[in-house]
């Protein structure tokens, strides 16, 4: 699945009408250099020197901190370990590391109900595929684009292309700034723009990859939903949840992610593929008159 989504990203970059050949060359170099870390590390971290006692919580915390500090100091003066993970295998999360130029998917995020090998490709691409696309797009969001293929902070954009990128990302910022989180508090889209762009780009890449992967197959409706509908249902299911108003107020100031409902509705309202799947008409809430697209 990762390979198919990276191929979709390559195709999108190659066919951008607002990016010059020089910047495309750099973008493709970075794309092809991205490392995929999936499941768990090749080498397990050695915790044998850490003493854990059943009835000494405070002591365990103190010893754990000393252990981690010593581990961090031991890296000084040594080559960067590009095989190191920033999350444990059971963690239900994923991330892109701009300085390592890698995307990381612990085993915990590759389990049902997120990825389910018993399900057909549509919901799996909609869910896990969009997550893979999300992390991949982070390499080219407003922060990730500032790093090159080796993870160095370097401006590899022409001034004209950088301006074109900002114009397109401003479309997303304007859209999300219009959403009300709670009471009169709106999304701080300058804070969330990186995640918003990754949500949109990741879902589009997953959809393209899914269509390419299944183009020779005759897909049938399941449980009364068409394959396209099942893709978007799968994409939306990871975001099921509810938050207290107090937490939403805190998140509005501190969280670089938009609230879950807008991470879904904000994305699909920009996608003609969703509108076609659910027969949405112009002027309806899930159809934006001026849709946004960066990648």
Catalytic residues: 135, 199
Q: Is 279 left (phi over 0), alpha (psi -120 to 50) or beta?
A: left
Could you tell me if 98 and 139 are in contact, meaning their C-beta atoms sit under 8 angstroms apart?
A: yes
Which residues neighbour 194 within 8 Å (Cβ) at sequence distance 6 or greater?
138, 141, 142, 143, 144, 256
How far does Cα 57 stand from its chain's mean position? 35
Report the C-alpha gap between 201 and 204 in whole angstroms: 5
SS3 96: strand
- Report the alpha-carbon distance of residue 134 to residue 234 in Å, rounded: 15
State CA 181 to chain mean position distance. 21
SS3 of residue 225 by DSSP: strand
């Amino acid at each position: 699945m990762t390979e198919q989504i990276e191929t979709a990203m390559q195709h999108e970059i190659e066919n951008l009408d607002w990016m010059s050949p020089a910047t495309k060359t750099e973008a493709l170099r970075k794309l092809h250099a991205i490392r995929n870390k999936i499941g768990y590390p090749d080498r397990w971290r050695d915790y044998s020197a850490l003493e854990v006692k059943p009835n000494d919580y405070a002591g365990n915390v103190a010893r754990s901190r000393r252990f981690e500090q010593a581990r961090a100091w031991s890296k000084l003066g040594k080559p960067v370990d590009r095989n190191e993970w920033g999350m444990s295998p059971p963690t239900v999360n994923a991330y892109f590391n701009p300085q390592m130029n890698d995307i990381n998917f612990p085993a915990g995020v590759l389990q049902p109900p997120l990825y389910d090998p018993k399900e057909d490709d549509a919901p799996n691409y909609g869910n896990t595929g969009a997550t893979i696309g999300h992390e991949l797009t982070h390499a080219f969001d407003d922060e990730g684009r500032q790093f090159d293929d080796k993870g160095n902070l370097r401006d590899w954009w022409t001034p004209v292309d950088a301006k074109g990128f900002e114009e397109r990302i401003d479309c997303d910022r304007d859209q999300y700034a219009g959403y009300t989180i709670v009471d009169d508090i709106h999304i701080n889209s300058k804070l969330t723009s990186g995640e918003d762009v990754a949500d949109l780009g990741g879902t589009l890449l997953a959809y393209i990859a899914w269509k390419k992967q299944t183009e020779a197959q005759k897909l049938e409706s399941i449980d009364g939903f068409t394959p396209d509908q099942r893709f978007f249902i799968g994409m939306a299911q990871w975001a099921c949840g509810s938050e207290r108003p107090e937490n939403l107020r805190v998140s509005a100031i501190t969280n670089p992610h938009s609230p879950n409902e807008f991470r879904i509705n904000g994305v699909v309202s920009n996608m003609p593929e969703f509108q076609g799947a659910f027969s949405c008409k112009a002027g309806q809430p899930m159809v934006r008159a001026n849709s946004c697209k960066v990648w």
